[in-house]
Amino acid sequence: AKEITLHTWKESGFLHVGILDRGPGVPPGEERKIFEAFYRANDSLSSGIPGSGLGLTLAMRIAKDHGGEIVYANRVGGGGHFTLRIPLMEDV
């Protein structure tokens, strides 16, 4: 069964958006590479999963352009946990 969970929270002037899935995860040692343009995990080409390897690169660029970041961690039991962190605007 496919599973994706989203959750949000505010902390220390930042909005956090957590995205958790139960996909194949990222091979150990390749966590930072997934944000590089055109990067695909070694087994992704043979698995038949479509994509060009640009989605996470573009998402990270947008996050950084807004003063934020995206971090990735493997989930216990399989899958991944992405967290988008962007600063909240002061009341104007």
Contact 30, 44 (CB under 8 A): no
pLDDT at 27: 83
Average pLDDT over residues 31-44: 72
Q: Is the pLDDT of residue 51 over 70?
A: no
Helices and strands (H, E) in the chain, number of each type: 2, 4
pTM for this model (two decimals): 0.78
Tell which residue, 37, 75, 40, has the closest CA to residue 59. 37
Q: Is the pLDDT of residue 5 over 90?
A: yes
Region of poorest pLDDT, from 20-34, 48-62, 71-85: 48-62
